[in-house]
Amino acid sequence: MKTLIIGLGNPIVGDDAIGIKIVEWLQQTNLFSPNVKIQPDVSLSGIGLVELFQSYDQVIIIDSIITEKNRPGTVRVLHPDQFLSAHHVSDFHNMDFFTALEWGYQTFKNIPPKEKITIIGIEIQYVQEFSDTLSPEIRNQLKSIQKTVYNQIRKILNKREVLFNAL
């Protein structure tokens, strides 16, 4: 199964970069088979994001989220129906991710079905200033976040696509 793992966020907006940093780390671990394409630095939304899904059987997006229901650093697994509450998945004007995804299904023949699209969200707090570093709160939890995200991905992927079962 051809899988795309995306690190979504903005590298100059503090904790908003957590998805990018996690996926950069995943890329460096060499834990995945060649069937798994890793794209760590994606700052897209809406249609632009959906266009990347073409020709993959499944997509896993690692992104920061703000639900204000969990403490920063909490990892949550989300599905397309919950996408409106995620960070980067909607586009400007009135194009939410769900519409963009529907458009993708109508336009392209090779977008994975909704059940094969997963967002792994990492709770952060609102960022108010530009910064290219993580907050101490997120930075101090980085290793445990990495491990949790990796284990979630391992659950999603086929066994043959993960070269090692645990870190």
Partner 1 sequence: MDKKKTKNIVTIHPVTRLEGLAKITILLNNAGRVENAYYQVVELRGFERFLQGRPIEEVLRITPRICGVCPTPHHLAPAKAADQIYNVEPPKTGKMLREIMALAHVVHSHILHYYAFALPDLILGEKSKPGTHNILGIAHQFPEVAKKAIRARAYAQEAQAMTGAKATHPVTALPGGISKGITKEDAEKLWKWGKYIVEFGQLGLEVWEQEVRKNKKMMNLINSDAYKMDSYYMSVVDDDNALDFYHSNIVRVVDSNGKEKFKFEAKDYLDYIAEHVEPWTYLKFPFLKKIGWKGLVYGPDSGIYRVNSLARLNVVDNIKTPLANEAMQHMYEVFGGKPAHHTLGFNWARLIEILHCGERMVELAEDKDIYSNDYRIPVEKKNITGEGVGVIEAPRGTLYHHYKTDDEGKVIKANIIVATTNNNGPICISVKQAAEAMVHAGQYNEDDLNKIEMAFRAYDPCLACATHAMYGHMPMVVEIYDENKNKIRELKRLN
The residues of the shown chain that bind partner 1, judged by CB under 8 A, are 10-13, 42-48, 66, 84-85, 87-88, 90-96, 98-99, 102-103, 106-107, 127-132
Dihedral angle at the C-alpha atoms of 80, 137, 21, 113, nearest 10 degrees?
A: -10
Q: Cβ of residue 43: shortest distance to partner 1, in angstroms?
A: 5
Cβ contact 32:88 at 8 Å: no
List the strands of the sheet with 3-8, edge to edge.
36-42, 3-8, 58-65, 117-123, 75-78
Asked if residues 158 and 1 have their Cβ atoms less than 8 Å apart, the reply is yes
Q: How far is the CB of 107 from partner 1 (least distance, A)?
A: 6
In the DSSP assignment, the letter for residue 71 is -
- Least separation in angstroms between residue 118's CB and partner 1 is 19
Q: What are the residues facing 86 on neighbouring strands?
A: 65
3 vs 45, which CB is nearer to partner 1? 45
Nearer to partner 1, 31 or 50 (CB): 50
Q: C-beta of 64: minimal distance to partner 1 in Å?
A: 10
Nearest CB to partner 1, comparing residues 128 and 165: 128
Instruction: Using the minimum distance from each CB to partner 1, give the nearer residue, 22 or 50.
Output: 50
